[in-house]
Structure 1
Amino acid sequence: MTFYYLNYYTEQMKTMTVPPAELIESQVIHISDKHFTMLCYYSFLSTPDYVDLLPRLY
């Protein structure tokens, strides 16, 4: 399979050719598990005033 992507470092379109199985494998690793819970739902990002807490972290 051949697809095109933008290289953000050089700002040029690149062409990449990979076997279909390799392309599918590279995409499947980004699918979360069935019972995976995102941590941001339970961290300081879940509070309405997280905007006030962000400067304390940086």
Structure 2
Amino acid sequence: MTAAENIGLGDLPALGDAARLKEAAVRAGVHETLFELPRGYDTSHVVRAAAGPRTGH
């Protein structure tokens, strides 16, 4: 899943609308970070699930 797809999950009709995705990223405070990555909003990421319940530390 790319960063753009992840952002678009919150507003599926905006998924293909770069301006709306950028607006959402700016509101979330992640646009600058994504913009600086080599693939920008097309950067893929992997979410790893814990093998069991998390314990608080």
Greater RCO (CA < 8 Å, at least 6 residues apart): 2
**TM-score class, shorter:** under 0.3
Give TM-score, length-normalised by structure 2: 0.24
- Would you tell me which structure has more strand in proportion to its own residues? 1
Which entry has the higher C-alpha Rg, 1 or 2?
1
